[in-house]
Structure 1
Amino acid sequence: MSDLVIDAHMHVWDATWLPEGLRRAWARQGAGRRLPERDPEDVLGHVAVGQSDPDAGLTIAAFDRVGVAAGLIPVVDWTIVGAPAGEHLPIAALNARYEEICARNEGRLYFAAGLDPRHPDARTLFEEAASHPHCRGFKLYPAAGWDLRDPAHAWLFEELVERDLPAVVHCSPLGGDPLQVVRCRPAEVAAVLASYPTLRVSFAHAGIEAWWSEALDCATGWQHAYLELSLWQRLATVDYREFRRRVRMMRAQIGAHRLIFGSDICRGPREDPEGTDLARFLGMVRDLASPYQGDAAVFSGEELELFLAGNAVRLFDLKEFA
């Protein structure tokens, strides 16, 4: 059995790359998580600093330690929703930054370019991003305030289909201030697939937590729809039996060949710097190929290989690992 592992949803960034409006929103969230509530200004300077790994040095070291061959970074375009305050790195510059990072870590990192189609020059931004050698798709984040089914954005899906590039769509109610998560419901993604049935789509986070069954049902029946299970370590850690039950349902309903492994770890000095959390999740995933407390294995060995790497290789055209 192959030991190849690809983390198909992880992040590499620096706090300064994030729009100030977004960081201020995250500061408001953090300030209100317990009583007595804090002043968001006192929190702002700490936002995302502990998750910063701008040269991917921590990430590659963790990959080496844990045994991960490569990772795919979905770049989020928060430049419109996060623009009301301060300066930000324009999305073209941000996508170019990820091309540089991937080139410096050749064969280890790839990215799905971020794009909010409301930019006046969105078509030019698309062309520039698609031309980057390490760009293997596009990350779409409608919770930033735009609708997947808006006719004004039809060109984007037409281009993705024409170029056979996958879309990684944020598909989870997780978010909060300043996002509009209802725009990310799996049913919205399924509606797009009804118009573009050959579009390759990764349902990022597979609807966790409130929408997971909707994500499964909405992905069913579309030949090129994948469920990507980043952040599912949260469930696996607190209720491993339920994690296995849900993955078993997914395997039965859409097939192991359409499930994608990812972590959504934003690695930095305060978030999994050594790769310990990633190693723990990988262990729980590998155990899906073994019986557990009287339950049969969820995956065969071959199906586990597909989940951990093979499906990501196919979806994101990672020819280097084919």
Structure 2
Amino acid sequence: MPGTPRRPLVVDGHMHILDASWLPEGLRRAWARQAAGRTHPERDPADIFCRVGKGQSDPDGSLTIAAFDTAGVAAGVMPVVDWTIVGRPAGEHLPIRDLHARCQSLADAAPGRLFFCAGIDPRHPDAAQILEHAAGMGNCRGVKLYPAAGWALADPAHSWLFERLVEMGLPAVVHTSPLGGDPLQTVRSRPAEVAALLARYPTLTVVFAHAGIEAWWAEALDSATGWQRAYLELSLWQRCAFADYAEFRRRVARMRSQLGAHRLVFGSDIIRGTKEDPRGEELVTWIDRVISLAEPFGGEPPVLSAEELALFLAANAVRVFDLRELS
């Protein structure tokens, strides 16, 4: 309609498309143990195991693309997590190379709408070859690192990985949230560890995935401050925005002031399926809350200008992940 404001370009810089069968059995059993412990009296994990991940399955991406269309999302970036070592103690798992191939197939089926970051666990004997193979796929635009799976960013044995990423010009998306639980070692993903990584490799582009939500968010901000290639990615932050919107605005205002709006990346971390935002309603609400950062609220002025909002919602992700298809 004439006079209707045009919604800004949106890129979901952190989302997933999965099928339960793609997850290592050991990880699914751990998630069943987690679920069993959330009630009292506790349930038997064996009774839960068969259902783990079923409600977050969208193997052909059809639900995701439909949700993108509903929410006005131009494209999404899938950071692949390599859980194949931490999830190996029980049963079978899909090799990480195969998971990368499935992400590339999803991207091929939705040209210009889906991209991915290869999941790299440097403990694999052939990790260097896994990286090179994934980087050669047309829609691979970075790597996802998940040290909470049991390895250390500071281990000298892994220095080859960061040296190669600098050479290739690929960004590293590092999980920085205390959320995890059995079987993960969440302390290995503290934002301070990522700051130490930046000190060793100052020309490496690093994205603080989840920006420390919840307990480490201030540490993530302080750790990213002062580094020219550090970005805070705010997937999962809809939890804060939905529970206390005023607090969410205060935190983003602090990020804008201390780090700059040009260092903030929008994301959701939604793993879509029949039980997680199947129609995209949560994604729509989350985007609306972010757009409202450019409007007054509760007697306070806007947190972001229209130009800064555009950076946060899409332009920063386009730059960081080289989404030239959207330029």
Partner amino acid, structure 2, of 1:46: R
1:306 has 2:311 as partner: yes
Alignment-derived partner of residue 118 in structure 1: 123
Cα deviations by residue, 1:11-41 (Å, 9 ceiling, x for unpaired) = 0000000000000000000011011211000
Q: Please, which of 132, 141, 146 is the counterpart of residue 146 of structure 2?
A: 141
1:34 has 2:39 as partner: yes
Q: How does 1:67-146 map to 2 (within 5 A)?
A: 67-146=72-151
Alignment-derived partner of residue 46 in structure 1: 51
Partner amino acid, structure 2, of 1:271: E
Would you say the 8 A contact 1:2–1:305 is kept in 2?
Answer: no
Q: Helix, strand or coil for the counterpart of 2:198?
A: helix
Structure 1, unpaired ranges of 5+: none
Alignment-derived partner of residue 12 in structure 2: 7
Deviation at 1:96, TM superposition (A): 1.0
Partner amino acid, structure 2, of 1:106: P
Cα deviations by residue, 1:220-276 (Å, 9 ceiling, x for unpaired) = 000000000000000111110000000000000010000000000000011000000
Alignment-derived partner of residue 199 in structure 1: 204
1:232 has 2:237 as partner: yes
Provide the rounded CA distance (Å) in 2 between the counterparts of 1:65 and 1:233: 18
Deviation at 1:191, TM superposition (A): 0.3
Deviation at 1:105, TM superposition (A): 1.0
Provide the rounded CA distance (Å) in 2 between the counterparts of 1:3 and 1:288: 13
Q: Helix, strand or coil for the counterpart of 1:138?
A: strand
Cα deviations by residue, 1:133-152 (Å, 9 ceiling, x for unpaired) = 00000000000000001000
Provide the rounded CA distance (Å) in 2 between the counterparts of 1:95 and 1:125: 9
Deviation at 1:284, TM superposition (A): 0.5
Q: How does 1:237-316 map to 2 (within 5 A)?
A: 237-316=242-321
1:183 has 2:197 as partner: no
TM normalised by structure 2 equals 0.98
In angstroms, what is the RMSD of aligned CA positions? 0.7
Structure 1 runs (4+) deviating above 2 angstroms are none
Would you say the 8 A contact 1:207–1:214 is kept in 2?
Answer: yes
TM normalised by structure 1 equals 0.99
Provide the rounded CA distance (Å) in 1 between the counterparts of 2:15 and 2:246: 25
Deviation at 1:2, TM superposition (A): 6.2
Alignment-derived partner of residue 3 in structure 2: none
* 30-39 or 175-184: bigger deviation: 30-39
Partner amino acid, structure 1, of 2:118: A
Would you say the 8 A contact 2:112–2:326 is kept in 1?
Answer: no
Residues paired across the two proteins, number: 322
Q: Please, which of 163, 169, 186 is the counterpart of residue 164 of structure 1?
A: 169
Partner amino acid, structure 2, of 1:144: A
Partner amino acid, structure 2, of 1:313: V
* 95-104 or 241-250: bigger deviation: 95-104
Provide the rounded CA distance (Å) in 1 between the counterparts of 2:288 and 2:105: 32
Partner amino acid, structure 1, of 2:47: D
Q: Helix, strand or coil for the counterpart of 2:118?
A: strand
Provide the rounded CA distance (Å) in 1 between the counterparts of 2:104 and 2:43: 38
Percent identity among equivalent residues?
68
